[in-house]
Every structure is written in C-alpha cells, then in structure tokens.
Amino acid sequence: MTIQMKPDVEINTNYYKVLEIRNLTENTFVVTLPKSRFKFIAGQHISLSIEGDYQSREYSIYSAEEGQNLEILVKEVEGGYFSPKLKHLKKGDMVEVHGPFGKFGLDTKKQITHKHVFIASGTGIAPFHSMVKSYPNLDYQLIHGVRHMEEAYEKDHYDEDSYFLCTSRDKDGDFNGRVTDYIKQAEFDKNTAFYLCGNSDMIFDAMEILKDKGFDRDSVNVEVYF
C-alpha cells in the first residue's frame, strides 16, 4: 500500500512575475507576464491585483491562446488608484492573477461561415487582438474608434485591409468621427457576426444601429467595459 503525503508547502500558482511593461502611448501600455500553465479562450478576461495591495481590476486578455506570454492592455486613468500603480511596475514585481472569466468570444458555429466584424472603442480592442492572433485565418474586419491616431494600438498587428480606424479628434484615421457614425453609413453582408467591446454608450448606440440595419440580437456579441 502506498501512502501519499501532502507537501509541506503549497505553491500558489496565481502569482506571476512581471516580464515587461511595453508603453504604446504616454498613458497606454501592455503588461507582459509569463503564461506558464494558464489556459484561456480568446475574448476572456482576468482579475489582476498587485502583491501587497487590497484592490484588483478586471482586464481582457490581449495575447493569443497559444502565445508564449500572457498580456493585458491598460490605459492609465488620470487620478485613478490602480492603473498608475500598474504602469510603474518593474520587471520582477509580483502580481496575482485569477481567472479566466467570461463567455465573450468567437461564435464557433459561425467561425467559418460568417464574416466577423469587431467594433471597439479605445482599449476595448484587447479581446479582438487576442482573437485575431489566436485565429490567423479568420475572415474579419476590425473597426476601432479612438480620439487620436496615436491610439491605434499596434495596428501593424492586423491585416492592413482588415483594420479600419475612426478618429473623433483628428483627421488622421480612415474616418473622421465616432465609430458609431461610421457604422451608420457602412454596409455589412447579411452573413456577419458582430462583436462589440468598449464603453457602454458606444455599445448601446451600436446595438441600436445594427438593429435598424436588420441584424437581430443573435448576430451581436457584447462585452461592456464601463
């Protein structure tokens, strides 16, 4: 008879060392962690806290399902408590990760049969970056709404013909105006699956516009940031 002894020390696998903070703009950055044994589906999010801090925040996963690292995209909130602390993390600092959470992701029943249109505002692009990187043969169009051209976060990671930028505060994007203004005038194939991620105002407005264009609720997947 073999007796299995419990180890004296239980390893907490929720702690990760920061590998890199990659600055994309003055106030937007990517936190890179080792992926280790972490498994997720593109579109899901994690809960993140800093070692020794009592607060946590939820962030969509930015990296690919089979990527080497686990990444999140963060915008520093002016006067905020948590995001400035994340920005000032150094390589080797410890964070605690829980998850993955959520059911936002590609509609697997439509993955091959439909065009996938991703509509994002700001850092709401994060789960779509994960989806595109996870499924390189996906037939997609990404419509990204930001204020300024510099907020086209790592646009070179997407197919040039599949990324469309709407800028509301300058004319350097593909369309000058809000992302919802563009959707109103755009035409979409009837076999289209829509995915919305970003602030609640954009999402609710976009849902109404798509409804007016004849797309029912089953055609629209939603992830509300705030």
Instruction: Note the pLDDT tens digit of each residue in 140-158.
Output: 999 999 999 999 999 999 9
Compute the distance between CA of residue 35 and CA of residue 19 in angstroms, rounded to an integer: 10
pLDDT confidence of residue 226: 61
Compute the distance between CA of residue 109 and CA of residue 127 in angstroms, rounded to an integer: 19
Compute the distance between CA of residue 151 and CA of residue 139 in angstroms, rounded to an integer: 24
Task: Check residues 100 and 7 and name the one with the higher pLDDT.
Answer: 100
Q: Determine contact, residues 42/65, Cβ cutoff 8 Å.
A: yes
Q: In the predicted model, is pLDDT for residue 37 greater than 90?
A: no
Instruction: Tell me how crowded residue 60 is: count the other CB atoms within 10 A of its CB.
Output: 25
DSSP notation for 63-90: S-TT-SEEEEEEEPPTT-SSHHHHHT--
pTM of the shown model:
0.92
Tell which residue, 200, 47, 58, has the closest CA to residue 121: 200
Average pLDDT in the 47-73 region? 96
Q: What percent of the chain has pLDDT over 70?
A: 94
Q: In the predicted model, is pLDDT for residue 9 greater than 90?
A: no
**Beta strands at 115-121 and 192-198: parallel, antiparallel or unpaired:** parallel
pLDDT confidence of residue 137: 93
CA atoms within 13 A on the CB side of 205: 15
> For the CA atoms of the chain, what is the radius of gyration?
19
pLDDT confidence of residue 125: 98
Compute the distance between CA of residue 215 and CA of residue 42 in angstroms, rounded to an integer: 24
Residues 117-126: pLDDT tens digits? 999 999 999 9
pLDDT confidence of residue 54: 87
Q: Determine contact, residues 106/194, Cβ cutoff 8 Å.
A: no
Compute the distance between CA of residue 197 and CA of residue 61 in angstroms, rounded to an integer: 13
Instruction: Tell me phi and psi for residue 194, to 5 degrees.
Output: -105, 145
Residues 192-220: pLDDT tens digits? 999 999 999 999 999 999 999 999 999 99
Residue 102 makes CB contacts below 8 A (sequence gap 6+) with 43, 44, 45, 223
Whole-number Cα distances in Å, 122 to 72, 166, 183, 208: 14, 11, 16, 20
Give the model's confidence band at 98: pLDDT under 50 very low, under 70 low, under 90 confident, else very high: very high
Average pLDDT in the 161-190 region? 97
Q: In the predicted model, is pLDDT for residue 41 greater than 60?
A: yes
Tell which residue, 167, 217, 170, 177, has the closest CA to residue 196: 217
Q: In the predicted model, is pLDDT for residue 115 greater than 70?
A: yes
pLDDT confidence of residue 224: 85
Q: In the predicted model, is pLDDT for residue 12 greater than 80?
A: no
Q: In the predicted model, is pLDDT for residue 27 greater than 80?
A: yes
